[in-house]
Each structure stands twice: as structure tokens, then as C-alpha cells.
Amino acid sequence: MGRNAVIALACGATILTIAMGVRQTFGLFLSPMSIDLGTGRETFALAMAVQNLLWGAAQPFAGAAADKLGALRVLVAGTVAYAGGLVLMAAGTGAFGLHVGGGVLVGLAMSCTSFAVVLGAIGRAVAPEKRSMALGVASAGGSFGQFIMAPIGQGLISAQGWAGALTTMAVIALAMAPLALVLASRSSASAAAQAPAAEQSLGEALTEARGHSGYVYLTLGFFVCGFQVVFIGVHFPAYLTDVGFSAGLGASALALIGFFNIIGSWGCGVLGGRYSKKYLLSALYALRSLAIVVFLVAPKTEITVLAFSAAIGLLWLGTVPLTSGLVAQIFGVRYMSTLFGIVFFSHQVGSFLGVWLGGWAFDATGSYDSIWIASIILGLIAAALHLPIAERPLRPAEA
């Protein structure tokens, strides 16, 4: 890769480290905030569900804005909203602070600072033959954020309380703005150096994608990804305390998921450059279901918890470089942020249902069993959905 591409990749991966890392700590706040604010778990879960739904609903628009206006403005706006949302959560205003700060503002911020916008900028900066690997490395940045922010978040909560921890994380989030400036300038320079592709309007690109069955299957499959990972990311620490483990094990489990996801995301990016992305996606979803089945039937010990965390971590965000890479491979990179943003909206609808139904099911039954079972069934459905996708590029010059 050229120098501009390497710098763009480094900045994009760091932005994802911060954006995804801070967000992935929210599960650590579920119990202490619910107790101190006098709200049930469903209130916190609903705020996280709103966050995920708005993240997804706004993602196509944020992607389209990045495709049309450039990534810089979108990323800076997202940085400001992210910090503001964390500060409002820290103000301790009960359901209002949770829903407006953690739900609305952080949800909108994630649409501007996460995968669709960042991977779109990186996709335009990197040559086609290196793109799958680069998307894997960038996606691993989000995993690295979870790995380092989970113990940092738990440490901040222990030292400063949950309100102080959220305020400190707001300061950390502001670091995304200068990184966005460098990412935008380097990706624009690299894109300008590449040969221009045949012009296609956004409307034409959307019509083309809507009529492609593979795009529909990718969109449906990504719904399952969202349902599974956000349910686990938010409710797993509380699930572990429910069955008798310490809060520290929950933080360790999230960190371990993040660590192994670094390997999984990078590995899926590399494999996606060599083998069929649709078959890799199918295998990934099937293996997720298998991992959940084994964990549920196994005795609950620290070893089985950590083993499950490692296994699910390998399969966590490997879907992102494969799914985004398949969108770029089939449709090209001109409108990659928009097209992947629409696919990602489906992911976030699944996230909304996974996290909210998790809270609802627990408050209604005292158990997460029904959501675990739903995750298994949906994983098998997703594995089947990816098999008929036609991977042939529609415009080989851009793929």
C-alpha cells in the first residue's frame, strides 16, 4: 500500500478503536446505573436499543453525506454528538439522560464515526487487491477498542463512579476529530490518484442494489449479526453476575471478546481476499450458533466463560470486512458508504431487538434463555441465506 493509504488506514482504525471501544463498555454500566437511578434493566436496555436503532436508521444518510461531501464533516459532527451524549448520561438524569444521551445522541454519533463512513473512506484509499485486508485491519481497530476499553471502563467506574467514568470517556471521544482530518485528507488524495470510474448517480446505484438478490441476502444476514452481538455485548456481564460470577469477570469476558476479535477481524479480512466471502460468512454464522449451544449446555465455570468469550470473539466482527468487502466487490466503491450503510441499518434493527428483548425477557421471566435460543436459530438461518449470493462484480474496474 502507498503512504497515503497506510496513514488513512491507521487513522481510520484508531477512530474505530475509540468509537467502538467506548460504546462496548456500556454493558458495564447496566447494573450500577440501574441500581443508582432506580430504573429496571429494561430502561437501560431500551436506551441501548434506541441507540442501535438510530445508529442504523441514520447510517445510510451519514454514508450518503460522506460519499457526497466527504468524510471529514460527518466524522467531526459525530465526534461532537458522541461527547455530548456521554456527558448527558453522566449527568444522572434517570431515564431522560439514558434515552437522549446514551440513546439518541450516541446513536446518531455512531452513524457518523463507525464502520460505513470510516470503511468507505478506507475503501477509496486502498487499491482493490489490498482492500479486503485493509477493511479487516480497520475492523480489528474496533475490536482493539473493546479489548482496551473494557478494563479501562471498569477501572474508571471503580475509581470515579459511573458518572465520572462517562465524563472521562467523553474527553477520550473528542480525540476522533483530529484523526478525522488526517483520514479525510489522505483518503481523498489516494482516491484522486486512482483512475476515475464510469459515472453513476446515487439513485442508479440504489436501484441496482435493490434489484440484486445478493444485496438483499446480505442485508437480512446482517440483521442476525446485530441481534447476536449486541445482546451479548450489553447483557453478558449482567448474565454472568446473575449466575454467581463477579463483575470483574464480566469485564474480563468483554476484553477477551475484544482481543480475539482483533484476530478474527484481521483473519477474516485476509481470508476474504483469498477465498469466497459468502462461504466464509456462512461458516461464521454457523459457528456462532455452535459456540452458543456449547456454552449453554456446558457447566458454568470461569474456564467455560473465558473459552466462550474467546470463541465468540473470533467470530464477533469478522462479518464486517466480509460484508463490506462483498458490497464493494459487487457494486464498487463509489457509493460504498451509502450501500453498506443500508445493510448496516438492518444490523442495527437486529441490535435493537436483541438488546431490548434481552432486557424485556429478563424482567418478564428472570432469565435470558429465550434470547439465547433465538440467537442460535437466527445464526443457522443467516448461514443458509449467504449461500446463494452471486459474488460476480457488476463493474470489474472498481472491484
In this predicted structure, the answer to whether residue 126 has a pLDDT above a threshold of 70 is: yes
Q: Is 50 exceeded by the pLDDT of residue 204?
A: yes
Q: DSSP secondary-structure letter at 103?
A: I
What is the pLDDT of the chain when averaged over all its residues? 87
> DSSP of 235-277, one letter per residue?
HHHHHHHHTT--HHHHHHHHHHHHHHHHHHHHHHHHHHTTS-H
- Largest distance between two CA atoms of the chain: 60
> Using CA atoms, how far apart are residues 4 and 309, in angstroms rounded to an integer?
36
Mean pLDDT of the 167-182 span: 93
**Mean pLDDT over residues 190-196, rounded?**
51
Average confidence (pLDDT) over 343-357: 88
Confidence of residue 384 (pLDDT cuts 50, 70, 90): very high
Q: Is the pLDDT of residue 14 over 70?
A: yes
Q: Decide if 360 contacts 234 (C-beta within 8 A).
A: no
pLDDT of 305:
94
CA 351/CA 345 separation, integer angstroms? 10
> What was the pLDDT predicted at 201?
82
d(CA 311, CA 309): 6
CB atoms near residue 390 (< 10 Å): 12
Nearest to 82 by CA among 156, 155, 157, 179: 179
What is the model's pLDDT at position 195?
Answer: 46
User: Distance between CA atoms of 334 and 368, rounded to whole angstroms?
Assistant: 42
Q: Distance (Å, rounded) from C-alpha 80 to C-alpha 272?
A: 34
The least confident of 72-86, 155-169, 221-235, 242-256 is 242-256
pTM confidence score:
0.77
Decide if pLDDT at 88 tops 50. yes
Q: Is the pLDDT of residue 257 over 60?
A: yes
* Residue in 253, 52, 285 with CA at minimum distance from that of residue 154: 253
Helices (H), the chain: 3-23, 26-37, 41-69, 71-90, 95-96, 106-113, 115-125, 128-173, 176-193, 202-210, 213-242, 247-272, 277-297, 302-314, 319-331, 336-365, 369-385
pLDDT of 398 reads 53
The mean per-residue pLDDT over the stretch 225-232 comes to 92
Min mean pLDDT across 185-194, 244-253, 356-365, 379-388 is at: 185-194
pLDDT at 397 (0 to 100)? 53
What's the pLDDT band for 107 if we cut at 50, 70, 90?
Answer: very high
Q: What is the mean pLDDT of residues 131-156?
A: 82
Sorted by where each starts, the structural domains of the chain and their CATH numbers stand as: 9-193+202-385 (1.20.1250.20)
**Is 90 exceeded by the pLDDT of residue 197?**
no
Residue 1 pLDDT: 63
